[in-house]
Copies of this chain bind each other. A is one copy, B any other.
Amino acid sequence: MNNVFARKLRNAGPLGPDDMERLEQVISDPFELGAREDLIHHGDDPENVHLVLTGMACRYKILPDGSRAIVALMLPGDICDLHVAILGQMDHSIGTLTDCQIVRIPKNTIADLLDNYPRIRHALFWSTLVDEAILREWLVNMGRRRSDHQMAHLFCEVHTRLAAVDQLYDSLMPLTQEELGDILGISSVHAQRVISGLRNQGLINVQDSRVSVQDFDALSEFAEFEADYLHLGEGRANGVDATAEHGAGRSPA
């Protein structure tokens, strides 16, 4: 099973063989994109929905002073702008952070999934609601936590989200300190200090400027990370069609 999209949607609940087959078709024609390229610009009126298969992409806004605020991270299996036709112009941009494999899904394919595959529809709605929940958690993080806790919280979230689609390999975040700063709303200089602080506390590893989690439990405790907002518990028997028990390998909350 190498379909991250299906893997992600199974977090919302079981899918049937017909669902799986349809999802296989949907992701059949991916394309490659380099790091730091835009998928959609602020002001565009997009025609397609985008799905990330590998790599990391983000939503961002550019402020009048030229600085960038990253407002969402898109990991493998994440889909964006489900209801792309409803709002007219984009109020933000979407771009890659790393090299990515992306699938463009035409609007009528989405309509077909929503109309004719009730389990997929359910899962897609679930996914947009989780995106919203993540946004709320980021808002709390930004407003109420010190930047070291905030950074730790981000790492816990990404760790958990990647684990939920079986994409948790060695390097957690192949991002520059400036990019991390743009996510957390801090300067790149301060991001550096925070990272070395976390490393010195033995919470994370840094190799070749790549962060990986050293001690997830300690890190979550430090970050006050509570995974409930990711709503990964709903599809408990999240194998195909409820009969097959595919362990998700998630760590418990």
Contacts and interface: CB of A to CB of B under 8 A. Distances in A.
Given A61-B140, A91-B231, A143-B185, 14 more contacts: A63-B144, A69-B143, A71-B140, A72-B136, A86-B125, A86-B129, A87-B129, A89-B228, A91-B136, A91-B137, A91-B229, A138-B139, A139-B139, A139-B142
A229 to B, nearest CB: 4
Interface in A199-246: 224, 228-229, 231, 233-234
Nearest to A145: B63
A130 interface: yes
B133 A135 contact: no
A67 interface: yes
A250 to B, nearest CB: 7
21 contacts: A61-B136, A63-B140, A63-B224, A69-B144, A71-B136, A83-B125, A86-B125, A86-B129, A87-B126, A87-B129, A87-B130, A87-B231, A87-B234, A89-B228, A89-B253, A91-B137, A128-B128, A135-B135, A135-B139, A142-B185, A144-B185
Interface residues of A, number: 47
Contacts of A87: 126, 129-130, 133, 231, 234
A140 B69 contact: yes
Given A139-B142, A142-B139, A142-B143, A126 B234 contact: no
A123 to B, nearest CB: 9
A62 B58 CA distance: 28
A45 B132 contact: no
Contacts of A234: 87-88
Contacts of A253: 45, 88-89
